[in-house]
Structure 1
């Protein structure tokens, strides 16, 4: 299983590659994982995740949280 965490405009998500599909999880303030409420298509490659998340959530950008960053690989 391949997993990476991302800071998406101030929200933390973990994306796991399981079998050929992505599983998206929200990381809570307590570190617990829960459903993220969105799906990543299986054709999205690992190196495309930041761009995909930016495109999906760009309306959530603020002057202080204006980017998507991989925080754990």
Structure 2
């Protein structure tokens, strides 16, 4: 049980950053773009960690509806 707690605390700050990035982009960013944004902020983190944390927090990428274009 103690190991579980230490892991939660380890990514507490990262989770808030991921939440901020997702909210700023209205949930349009997936784990890849979130990872890129974290790298730009100087936070070196593996994309798999970001993917797992986003899955835990139920942060998913909402895809925009494509506009219909009948004319080529």
Report the TM-score when normalising by structure 2: 0.32
Report the TM-score when normalising by structure 1: 0.32
Bigger radius of gyration: 2
Which one scores higher on RCO, CA 8 angstroms, separation ≥ 6? 1
